[in-house]
Amino acid sequence: MTVSVEIVPFADSLDMYGDPDRSAAYSLSGHVALSLSSTTSIFGYGYARPSQLLLSSLVVTFEGQSEMVAEEIGYSAVRLCSISQECVSGEPVELMTNDVPETSDKPCTWNVVFNLTVPGWLPATDMFGQKSFTGPTGTRYGLHAVAKFQYLPSTAPNSWFSLLCLPLRFTSQTAKAPRVAIALNRFISPSSFASTSSSLFPTTNYAVTVQSEESIGDPSPSIPTEILSKLRVVVSIPEQVGTEEEMIPLSIRMRTEGLSESECKRLRAEEFLLALDQTEKYRSVPLSAYSARYPLPPRNQQPPNMPLLDPNPMQTIYEMGLSACPPPRQVLSRTFSLLPTEHSRRFVLAGDGYIFDGDSNTTDVTWYSLSTNIAVAKERETTDEKDWKQMRALRESGHSPFFSVQHQLSLSLKCTYDLSEGENPERATRHLSFNLPIRFVRTPPVISRGHSPSSSCCPSLLSLADTCSEPPTPTSDFLHPSLPYTNALPAYSQLFESNGDRKIDYSIPLPLYTPRPSADEKCQASSGQLEDISLRGAMV
């Protein structure tokens, strides 16, 4: 008799929506297939007889882990979560195969349903670090199952070998299921109030106050401080950018405030440069700010005190001392550009550059505006594909214990100021630099790329609770056929409080107050009701 255990989840991925939230929770469901075959004789003769076992425990565990492997850092691992559920509650369950000879050669299967509550603050699945033959490294999640059982004695042993093995067969035994990988995705739903059709998210305005910085050792003349302090610059970029978007809309508005007419005629804007950089940081120990913000398991539940259920084989190599141990608390950082190499980073303003001429002659507030789209390179060509440090690909912004990704948009505006008059005046030059944060996020795959995000609300967790007043009807344009409908349902934490009370939607106004009717009004209402009933009775 053989026992096999298999995990069959309802979906091989777990989609979370919005930023990591400690108060949010998601459901991961499925069943465990427990198969039991009949007993045959040692030489394979005769019919198979029914077999019995006593299932005492069946534990399903969802474990998340983050591992970092690099020559400069070594091997580091942390357990993100370990969520278990006992599927056999109360007394042990007796299982028995079929006793029909025609079907006794086929195993009997029992499906045990499980439902795990997964916290909503977990980082998304991401592969990073050194690539090797030992297996993937990074942030991974998986399902594990262990069954504990005991064979029950049959009606009679069918061979002398079975008699010898009776003491061993009736002891407690275990059977493990192969690990099932679960991909954890984190999506940000596009806003239905996007200001431009070229972006899935609304824009944010950054008002920049120009500060004069004197360059040490620079003999060239500089623009006076009282001139630069009266220059106003407003930059508009989207709050978030989808990783699948190819362009980022950028708008720059400039004007002067409080300058005289002669000063406005001397100030000019010549050109501006832009840079879009991605900064990646790899650590050998978990980030302290991350550990303080999210409830990682305690130290006694972390490796090596409690080994991971599916560690990378490099763990054994480093524990046995077969590899050099680098210094502790190492941090690797690299920054590279996300702009395509064939696109120019220099934008020259049209005309002579005296865009502020006339600011002092009008009482209305006028801005000089310019707009452009910034192209984003998804992947850059590398000289060595085997070196993981040379791999340059666009990643979503975020943090994990060993790995963090940040993005930044840098602008440099070149301004000049005429110190003298004439056709070739003497000019003072100053480069004004601005660093703006920008965030890349993943958008749900259920979004139809052929529709504008502002036309209707997306059927996601956030839009159902925050953006839309009523849950939108799922249509074929929004839902992917391969995805279950449950991906469009709101999270439990958006409907109920942590103590189980239902959340109250305060956006719905309460009915207006009406005073209680007096005793005379109640009598008149009762008599009117009786009269109405008598009239209807007469009509019948």
Contact 79, 308 (CB under 8 A): yes
Q: Is residue 10 part of a domain?
A: yes
CATH number of the domain within which 149 lies: 2.60.40
Q: Are residues 20 and 128 in the same domain?
A: yes
Q: Are residues 429 and 449 in the same domain?
A: no
Higher pLDDT, 61 or 531: 61
CA distance 431 to 435: 13
Q: How many CA atoms lie within 13 A of 173 on its CB side?
A: 16
Quick one: which of 91, 83, 80 has its CA closest to 57?
A: 91
Total domain count for the chain? Answer: 3
Q: Is residue 79 part of a domain?
A: yes
Tell me which residue range forms the domain holding 90.
3-187
Q: What is the pLDDT of residue 451?
A: 40
Q: Are residues 419 and 460 in the same domain?
A: no
Q: Are residues 433 and 452 in the same domain?
A: no
Quick one: which of 53, 73, 30 has its CA closest to 328?
A: 73
- Using one digit for the tens of pLDDT, what is the confidence trace for 139-183? 999 999 999 998 877 544 455 555 555 555 557 889 999 999 999
Q: What is the pLDDT of residue 288?
A: 87
Q: Is residue 137 part of a domain?
A: yes
Q: Are residues 27 and 158 in the same domain?
A: yes
Q: Is residue 431 part of a domain?
A: yes
Q: Are residues 421 and 333 in the same domain?
A: yes
Q: Are residues 155 and 219 in the same domain?
A: no
CA distances from 235 to 149, 369, 431, 539 (A): 66, 10, 16, 75
At which residue do the structure tokens 């064979």 appear? 151
Domain boundary among 420, 441, 462: 441
Q: Is residue 113 part of a domain?
A: yes
The DSSP-derived string for 429-486 is EEEEEEEEEE-EEPPPTTS-TTS-TTSS---SHHIIIII-SSPPPP-TTTS-TTS-GG
Percent of the chain with pLDDT over 90: 36
Contact 371, 349 (CB under 8 A): no
Q: Are residues 89 and 15 in the same domain?
A: yes
CA distances from 331 to 198, 380, 474 (A): 38, 24, 46
E runs forming strands in 45-160:
52-70, 74-86, 93-96, 108-119, 126-127, 138-151
Domain boundary among 138, 153, 187: 187
User: CA torsion 233→237→240→245, rounded to 10°?
Assistant: -160
Q: Are residues 16 and 102 in the same domain?
A: yes
Q: Is the pLDDT of residue 376 over 50?
A: yes
Q: Are residues 456 and 435 in the same domain?
A: no
Contact 212, 254 (CB under 8 A): no
Length of the chain measured in residues: 540
Quick one: which of 409, 371, 403 has its CA closest to 388?
A: 403
- Using one digit for the tens of pLDDT, what is the confidence trace for 485-495? 344 456 666 67
Quick one: which of 232, 288, 276, 227 has its CA closest to 256?
A: 232
pTM of the model: 0.74
Contact 277, 410 (CB under 8 A): yes
Q: Is residue 311 part of a domain?
A: no
Contact 143, 119 (CB under 8 A): no
Q: Is residue 299 part of a domain?
A: no
Domain boundary among 171, 187, 203: 187
Contact partners, residue 102, CB within 8 Å, separation at least 6: none
Task: Determine how β-strand 346-348 pairs with β-strand 368-375.
Answer: unpaired
Quick one: which of 72, 194, 204, 121 has its CA closest to 398?
A: 121
Q: Is the pLDDT of residue 341 over 70?
A: yes
pLDDT category of residue 321 using cuts at 50, 70 and 90: low
- Using one digit for the tens of pLDDT, what is the confidence trace for 208-248? 766 555 555 556 677 888 888 888 999 999 989 999 999 99
Q: Are residues 110 and 217 in the same domain?
A: no
Q: Is residue 322 part of a domain?
A: no
Q: Are residues 362 and 502 in the same domain?
A: no
